[in-house]
A and B are shown apart, each in its own frame.
Chain A
C-alpha cells in the first residue's frame, strides 16, 4: 500500500475564527521562511467557500491551512510531495509539522486561535493507499496507534475512522488526557 499525501489536523479550542486574520500571518510566514525544510510559496484565500479549506498557505512540500471543513476548526498540514519510508514515521512527521504550525499560530501576536492537545485528525489522501473503509483502517491502525502512543503515552485513545468508500481514509483520534502543544512536540522528538 502506498501511503502518500498524509494529512494531519490539529483542532482548535475556538468554535469559529475570523479566517481573514490568517492572510497576513501566512504572508509573514513566507517572508520569514517560518517552516524549516519547507518552501512556502503563496497564500490562497477560500474564506468565501462554505466549510471550505479556509485560508491555505501553499508550499512545495505541503500546504498548511486553517479550515473548518467537516468541522471543527483547526490547522491542517497536507503533505503534497511523495516521501519514502513506512507509514508510521510519515504520520509522526506530518503530526510534527502540524503541531509546529499550530504552535506558531498560537504564539502569533494576533492571538486569533488556540489549540486542543487531545484531538487530531489523520488522513491519507492518496487513493493508492485505500478508500475510507474497514480494510484500509485495519491496515493503517498499527501506525495510527503508534502515533497515538507517542503523543499520549499511557492514555486511552478513541478512534473514529471515516467510513465512506468515496472518501479518502481518515480517522479522528481523541485522547482521554490532554497535553500542551510543546509537550506533544517534545514527545514526537
Chain B
C-alpha cells in the first residue's frame, strides 16, 4: 500500500459492485448538499439512517457531566445531520450481517474500520449486526466503500425499512432443522433491499428465520415476519408468522400461513410489506409497527388483505431462481471431521460442555465464542480470522445472544482451537449460561437509555463468573437487560429480565431496573415475562441472588423458574424481594445515586429523541431529494468539463422529480422514462395540476421537451441551459407537491 496518495474511492472503484458504489457516491453528494443547507435535515436524517448511520447519546450537543448539563462545543456550529442532531457528534454505524454470516475477509475489513473510525471495538448486537460506535459522519462514505469492497452494504440497516434479516446461527448444521434456512434468508434480504414496496414504511420492519420450532436461535415469534422451516409431504415451506414484536408492549406473532411453499416466500413477504406500507400508522410513532395493524384488523382480515395484495404482484423470476440447487448452498468444512482423542483439560471440558454443539455431520461441532457484552477488539478479530482460516474457513456466524460461532469444527481440532482462542482472550466458557448476559447499549451510547444496562450486565457477569454454580438449572437461566422499555436487550424473553427505569428519591433521581420474570427463551421466544417491581440499580445483584435462592429452595423437584413463578405467584415473589427496594439516603450511601460503570451522579437529563423510529419521509420527498442531488451532480460534471454527462444528469433529475409526483397516484410506476413522462403528462400536465399559477405549463413543458428532443452531444451552453431548466422544473415539482400534499392519502399500491 505504501506509495502515492490515494482515496478509497479510487482504490476500491473496481472492487465495489456498481450499484453499491453509486449509492455511496449519492450519499456523499447528499452530505455536501446538507452542509450547504440545500437538503432538509429531516430528509437527510432518514437518508442517513437508511444507510445505517445512527445517532448516539449526546448528539444533540448537550451532556450532563455530573454537575450540570453542558453544551458540547462541536466545531461544526449549528450544522446538523438531523433534527437536534449535531453534525460533528459521534454516531454509530450499524453494519448489516444478513443471517449473521461473515467471511474472514469481511471481518478483517470490519476490524480495520473499527480501528480507524471507531474505538477499536466491534459490538455484536441482539440482531446479528456489527455496530461501530463513536464514528464521525465525515468518515462514513469511505467506511461504506470499504465494506462494499467485500460485498457488505449498510443500506437499510436503520430507519423505516426492512432491517437485517436474521437466522439461527446453526442453520445448515443443526440436527433439529427442517432444512437450512440460510439461502432463504439471503434471498429475501436482497429481494426486499431497496424494493419499491419497502420504501414507504412508517416504521421499521424485522424478519427472522428459524430452522426449527423448539429452539430459540431464530426467535421467529417476536418479529414482523417470522418464518419457521417445515417440510410437508416432502416439500419445503414455512410456517409464516406476522405481527410479532417486543418494544414496550410485546406481541406474539400470529400464524398467518400454516404452510407457505418455498416459492411463495418472497412474494408473500412482499405482500405483507405492501399491506404495512398501505395501512401502517404514520403519525403516532408508538403505534406504527406492523403488530398494531394486525391487532387492529384482526388476523382474518389481515390475512385476507395480504392474499389480496399477493394477487396483484407481478411475477418476478427472482422468486424462484435462487431455489435452483439450493440444497448445495451451504458452507462446507475446511478439514476432515475426526473424533476427539487424548486427554481433555478441565478448561476444555467446560468449554466443550457449554460452548460446543454437535452437528449432525459426524465428528463436527459448532463452537461458540462468548463475547462479554458482545464486544470483541479489532486485534482479537484478526486473531480469530487467522484461527478460522486454519480450522474452519468462512463459517463464522454472529448470534442474537451477541456471540460468534465457528461451524464445522472437527472434534479432533478442539484442543488446539481452544488453546489458540484462549491465548487471545476468546476462550471463555459458559456460552448460553447464566453468566452469558445479553444487554443493549443502554445509557452507554443510546439516546433512549434510562439506566446503565451494560454496566449492570458487566457487574452481574463479573459476580457470576466468580461464583461456583453447580446447579444445572441455575446455570441454564438467561439474564437479559434493556436500558429502557424499548426492549432492545430482549428482556421480555429472559428467565430474569431487567428494563431500565428511574425513580425519584427525596428529590434525587435514582437509577432502577424493573425485574421482569416469566419469559421463555425456548420455543423461539415462546412467551413474555411481566414486570413485578422496580429495584435500585445497585441492588440488582442481590435481587438476582435472592430470586434464585428462593426458587431453588421452594421449588418442586426439577421445577423450572418460569413454572415456579407461575405456581408460587408473583405476589409471593415480590414479597420475598420487597426489602431490596429500599434506597438509602444520599448521605447514607452515595453509590446508589450513580449508575453501574458511571462516576457521575445519575440523571435522566441526557435522554434524547431516539432515532430507532427514524423520520417519516414519504417516497415523494425522497424522490424530490434525489432529483436535487442529481441536478447538483450535473453541475459538478459541467464544472469538470463533461457537458454530455451534465446534460444527461439534468434530464434524469427532471425524470426523478416527475416520478416522485407520479407515485402519489401510481405507486407502481416503473423507472422507464417513457412511462414516467407519459404518466406525468396524463396526470399532471393535461390536468393542469402541475401548472404554475403564473407561468402556466412552462415548467412542465421543459420536461416534455427534454424527453422528446434529447440533446445530442451538447456543448457547454446547452448543458448549462438543461441544468437551469431542470432546477426550475424541480422547484415547480416541490411547489406542486406542497399544493397537493395535504389532500393526498398515503401512496396506495395498485
Report A's interface with B, CB cutoff 8 A: 1-2, 5, 23-24, 27-28, 30-31, 39, 41-53, 56, 58, 60, 63, 65, 69-70, 80-81, 125-131, 133, 135-136, 138-139, 166-168
Q: Is B373 an interface residue (CB 8 A)?
A: yes
Do residues A130 and B119 form an inter-chain contact, with CB atoms below 8 A?
A: no
A39 to B65, CA, bound (A): 13
A1 to B455, CA, bound (A): 41
Closest chain A residue to B452 by CB distance? A45
Do residues B1 and A127 form an inter-chain contact, with CB atoms below 8 A?
A: yes
Contact residues of B between 159 and 205, Cβ < 8 Å to A:
none
Do residues A2 and B5 form an inter-chain contact, with CB atoms below 8 A?
A: yes
Do residues B379 and A166 form an inter-chain contact, with CB atoms below 8 A?
A: no
Report B's interface with A, CB cutoff 8 A: 1-6, 8, 57-58, 63, 65-67, 72-75, 88, 90, 108, 112, 115-116, 119-121, 133-134, 136, 372-373, 375-377, 379-380, 382, 424-426, 444, 455, 458, 461-462, 597-600
A53 to B376, CA, bound (A): 10
Given A48-B461, A127-B112; A69-B6 close (CB under 8 Å): no
Closest chain A residue to B594 by CB distance? A24
A50 to B108, CA, bound (A): 19
How many inter-chain contacts with C-beta < 8 Å in the A-B complex? 121
Name, among B3, B88, B597, the residue most crowded by chain A CB atoms within 10 Å (CB to CB). Answer: B597
- Quote the shortest CB–CB distance from B711 to chain A (angstroms): 39
- Quote the shortest CB–CB distance from B8 to chain A (angstroms): 7
- Quote the shortest CB–CB distance from B205 to chain A (angstroms): 31
Q: Which one of A23, A31, A39, A58 contacts B119 once the chains associate, using CB atoms below 8 Å?
A: A58
Do residues B372 and A48 form an inter-chain contact, with CB atoms below 8 A?
A: yes
Given A39-B73, A41-B72, A136-B1; A53-B599 close (CB under 8 Å): no
Name, among B66, B72, B119, B424, the residue most crowded by chain A CB atoms within 10 Å (CB to CB). Answer: B119
- Quote the shortest CB–CB distance from A136 to chain B (angstroms): 5
Q: Which one of B75, B380, B455, B600 contacts A27 once the chains associate, using CB atoms below 8 Å?
A: B600
Contacts of B112 in A (CB 8 A): 127, 168
Q: Which one of B3, B74, B121 contacts A39 once the chains associate, using CB atoms below 8 Å?
A: B74
Contacts of B1 in A (CB 8 A): 127-131, 136
Contacts of B5 in A (CB 8 A): 1-2, 128
Do residues B377 and A30 form an inter-chain contact, with CB atoms below 8 A?
A: no
Given A1-B3, A5-B116, A27-B66; A42-B136 close (CB under 8 Å): no
A141 to B461, CA, bound (A): 45
Do residues B2 and A49 form an inter-chain contact, with CB atoms below 8 A?
A: no
A41 to B119, CA, bound (A): 13
Q: Which one of A23, A46, A63, A135 contacts B2 once the chains associate, using CB atoms below 8 Å?
A: A135
Do residues A52 and B115 form an inter-chain contact, with CB atoms below 8 A?
A: no
Do residues A125 and B377 form an inter-chain contact, with CB atoms below 8 A?
A: no
Do residues B382 and A167 form an inter-chain contact, with CB atoms below 8 A?
A: yes
Q: Which one of B2, B88, B377 contacts A60 once the chains associate, using CB atoms below 8 Å?
A: B88
A120 to B74, CA, bound (A): 30
Contacts of B88 in A (CB 8 A): 60
Contacts of B458 in A (CB 8 A): 45, 47-48
A50 to B426, CA, bound (A): 8
Contacts of A166 in B (CB 8 A): 108, 382
Q: Which one of B63, B67, B121, B598 contacts A41 once the chains associate, using CB atoms below 8 Å?
A: B63
The 5 closest A-B pairs by CB, nearest first: A50-B425, A24-B599, A130-B2, A135-B2, A27-B599
